[in-house]
Amino acid sequence: MTKKEVCLQYIELLEKGEMEQLLTLFNTDGIIDSPIYGRKPAADFYRDLTSDTNNSELKLLGIFEEDNSDHVALYFNYQWTLKNNEIVNFDVVDIIEFDTQNKISKLKIIYDTVVARGLVKQLDG
């Protein structure tokens, strides 16, 4: 798959909550760097996200790729329904770093967490 195809599949699988399939897009050392969940292995991040999530609706706003680069930026809107049915809606940019086989080696998530951080914290409390 091309980097763009991986990105499109990533968005589709994330929205559907198909985390086992989504993890196949990552290499074995895949890392997520999230403003809420911190830096952790992809499997741990998606397990935590799944446990906090009732539903996800994503709208892709753009894919930004440079020639001869191993990085792609995804820009999308994320409507996140938490397990307590609170809804958080925000725009997010994911910076994806690929390895030589077009597997995701690192994904850095960038968004304003003012609302989401408080709501997720309530889930734990």
Look at residues 80, 84, 69 and name the one whose alpha carbon lies nearest to residue 109. 80
Query: What does the pLDDT look like over 20-74, one tens digit per residue?
Result: 999 999 999 999 999 999 999 999 999 999 999 999 999 999 999 988 899 999 9
Long-range CB pairs of 41-49, under 8 A, 24+ apart, other chains included: 42/104, 42/107, 46/19, 46/22, 47/19, 49/19
CA angle 31, 84, 52 (to 5 degrees): 10
Enter the DSSP assignment of 17: T
Q: Sketch out the chain's domains with CATH numbers.
A: 3-124 (3.10.450.50)
pLDDT for 54:
94
CA separation for the pair 109, 34 (Å, rounded): 5
Report the DSSP pairing between strands 26-34 and 104-110: parallel
Burial of 125 (0-12, 13-18, 19+ CB in 10 A): exposed
Nearest-angstrom CA–CA distance, 125 and 116: 14
pLDDT, tens digit, for every residue of 77-89? Answer: 999 999 999 898 9
- Contact between 35 and 26 under an 8 Å Cβ cutoff? The reply is no
